[in-house]
Copies of this chain bind each other. A is one copy, B any other.
Amino acid sequence: MDYSAVDAFPAIHDPATAPGDGPPAGQARWASIAASLRSRIATGEFPAGDPLPSEAALASAYGVALGTMRAALQSLVQAGLIERRHGKGTFVRSGIGSGSLSRFFRWGASGELPDARVVSVKEVAAGVEAARALGLGVHAPVLRLVRLRTRAGRPLLHERICLPLERFARLATLAPGEFPPLLYPFYARRCGVTVHRALDDLAFERLAPRIAQSLELPAGHPAIRVTRLAFDLAGRAVEHRITLGNAEDVHDRAEVR
């Protein structure tokens, strides 16, 4: 599977077009306004955390009625790009937070979050799996982080993270100890990469000897592997991450409709 182009939105956008003028290009007015706002957010014109102009201001800027602008904004709320607060304004959401991983693990729900510590940083070739996921060539240079999550001194999760060197060059010279516990805000500050959404894939696996050792479990122990592909605001794949943890700790809940 190639996810590299998932959720990429071109900047179709021309506020001057009136309802009757020319072909609607197969899109409703609110949809192209939404696409326009999306790309303006992605390019940093409206930074994460900042408020957008009020819906009235946007409506008049785009030359549409309030209801139409509300439809456009509503679609961005659905997509998780912005959030609206009654009486305050419309805000660009900051990237996804921490605790996102805890979804799959029992101890994530209650109690303190585990610590996270980067144990190695290396520049390597992407390799088949990460290359395909990130839309790179197999030999493209990536930064590979190995990271351990621990609690009360006991290792819980082993993570292997691949970042395209091109966008994350500023992390290449850091020592492992210089990485903070929360990586996504760090990506944003240091590299201008906002992680906006991710896909997590869960599968069963038995621990390879070396990883088992770092998790203080016997080789071949049942484990859950979560393969994450993270995307920036423009929908480009920016991080490939493999997390391994004890299967006994796994947990998930899903709604079926």
Contact = CB atoms under 8 A, between A and B. Distances in A.
Nearest to A196: B257
Contacts of A222: 204, 222, 247
- Copies of this chain present: 2
Nearest to A197: B257
A221 to B, nearest CB: 10
A166 interface: no
Interface in A100-143: 100, 103, 106
A104 to B, nearest CB: 8
The residue among A201, A202, A248 with the most chain B CB atoms within 10 A of its own CB is A202
B252 A197 contact: no
B200 A254 contact: yes
Contacts of A255: 197-200
A237 to B, nearest CB: 14
Nearest to A251: B203
Contacts of A253: 199-202
Nearest to A221: B222
A199 B254 contact: yes
Contacts of A67: 67
A256 interface: yes
A41 to B, nearest CB: 15
Contact of A80 (B100, B103, B224, B257): B257
Contacts of A254: 103, 199-200, 202, 252, 254
Nearest to A81: B257
Nearest to A230: B256
B197 A250 contact: no
Interface of A: 67, 80, 96, 100, 103, 106, 196-204, 222, 224, 228, 247-257
User: What 10 A-B pairs are tightest by C-beta distance, nearest first?
Assistant: A80-B257, A202-B252, A222-B222, A204-B247, A198-B256, A200-B254, A100-B256, A197-B257, A204-B250, A201-B253
5 contacts: A103-B254, A202-B252, A204-B222, A204-B224, A222-B247
